[in-house]
Amino acid sequence: MTPRDRWWRWQSRNAPYLFLLPFALVFGLFMAYPLGRSLILSFYKAIGPKRMEFVGSGNFRFLLHDWVFWWSVANTAAFTIAFLIVQIPLSLGLALLLNSRWVKARNWFRFAFFSTHLTGQVFVAIIFGVLLESRGGLVNHVLAALGIAPIGWLSDPNWIMVSVLIAALWLSVGFAMIYFLATLQGVDPEFYEAASVDGAGKLSKFWHVTLPSISKVLNLLIFMGIVAGLQLFELPYVLNQGPGPGGRGMTIVMYLFITGFDAGDLGYASAIGWMLVIMVAIVGVIQYRLLKRLGAM
């Protein structure tokens, strides 16, 4: 075997590993190691290497009785449910509208609705902070012109999560719309023709043709919405400058951030992070099983 043959052989055997190496290094350094380290930290009371006390499952046991944590879970769950209830129908409606041949300048509208998703969450929070300002904000000015009393969007504890919801919807409806639109464009027109031949009306076609065709994307978007909802942080944190009045804007990740970086309790913050991972996993499994039982997977 010549050296050239040996070189080729070595290359063909090792090339896949060499191609994977950069990813493995970056993933190992910035994902796997911090994940492993945070798991270890979650069993310690820690404020740096000099002060680490092993507490076993102490952080997790304290978490189970920490009402601020459960308050943040309830708050986050309420937001996620409200978000999905509004986002999915709204984005599907937009997608159906912009898939219709009767709408002029469809591409322009598609881009316009999607473009909001290209904006960063912090930037959106700052803009909505200005728009929803109780005294000088545009929204309250418009409401006043309509004879509606000003709303304390960012100062009234009952309204602050509604403000976050509005900003989150502005940011994400276009994104979900693009997914629906792509799927709708892939539905074979013959299905609709066949349904018409069978005498199906518009509603019947939507129920028996459109919905089954988009069910996989619908499931994906619901799961993505749940995960994004559970990870909600930047929007409320910047919009309300923390948990907001009466702590009503507290979310799970915000509590994690405050515990880790404001209170400096990294061990407990890691435990909160791992509890969130467990929650996402449980929700994912429940959703998967439920949809499988309903025949949507």
Partner 1 sequence: MQFPLGKAVLVMILLAAVGAVGVLMQGARPRADIEVWAFTSDQTNAWQALNSDFYAITGKKMRVKQVSTQAIDIRLVSMMMSGEQSKIVPDIVTIEVGSVGKYFRPPADDVGFVPIENFLKRDGLEELFVKTRLKLWSKGGHLFGLPLDVHPVMLTYRKDLYAQAGIDLAKIKSWADFQNAGLTYQKYWGPEKFAAELPAASADVLYMMLLQRGVNLVDENNHVCLNDPRVLDTLMFYTQMVAGQKKIGQSAGGNTIARVRALVDGDVAAMITPDWEVQQIKQWGPELANKLAVIALPRFDESDCPTSTWGGTMVAIPRGCQDVDSAWQALKFLTTSNTNYDTLPALKSAWNNPGFHQPDPFFSNERVGELEIKLAGELPNRIITPFTTIATGELSLVLHRAVRAVQNGESLPELEIHCRQWLQSTNDDVEKYIRFGGFE
Contacts of 287 (CB under 8 A, 6+ apart): 219, 222, 223, 226
Minimum CB distance to partner 1, residue 58 (Å): 8
Yes or no: say if 184 and 190 are a contact pair by the CB < 8 Å rule: no
Instruction: Tell me how far apart the alpha carbons of residues 158 and 152 are, in angstroms, rounded to a whole number.
Output: 9
Complex with partner 1: residue 74 or 227, whichever CB lies closer: 74
What is the number of other CB atoms lying within 10 angstroms of the CB of residue 96?
Answer: 16
Instruction: Tell me how far apart the alpha carbons of residues 32 and 38 are, in angstroms, rounded to a whole number.
Output: 10
Complex with partner 1: residue 172 or 259, whichever CB lies closer: 259
Minimum CB distance to partner 1, residue 17 (Å): 21
Complex with partner 1: residue 48 or 189, whichever CB lies closer: 48
Instruction: Tell me how far apart the alpha carbons of residues 37 and 261 are, in angstroms, rounded to a whole number.
Output: 17
Minimum CB distance to partner 1, residue 242 (Å): 9
Minimum CB distance to partner 1, residue 82 (Å): 21
> In terms of residues, how long is the chain?
297
Tell me which residues touch partner 1 (CB under 8 A). 45, 47-51, 58, 62, 67, 133-136, 152, 154-157, 241, 243, 245-247, 261-266, 268
Complex with partner 1: residue 22 or 48, whichever CB lies closer: 48
Report CA-CA distances (Å) from 232 to 192, 291, 297: 39, 25, 27
Complex with partner 1: residue 58 or 212, whichever CB lies closer: 58
SS3 call for 44: strand
Minimum CB distance to partner 1, residue 273 (Å): 16
Complex with partner 1: residue 45 or 106, whichever CB lies closer: 45
How many helices (H) and strands (E) are present in the chain, helices listed first?
A: 14, 2
Minimum CB distance to partner 1, residue 265 (Å): 5
Contacts of 18 (CB under 8 A, 6+ apart): none
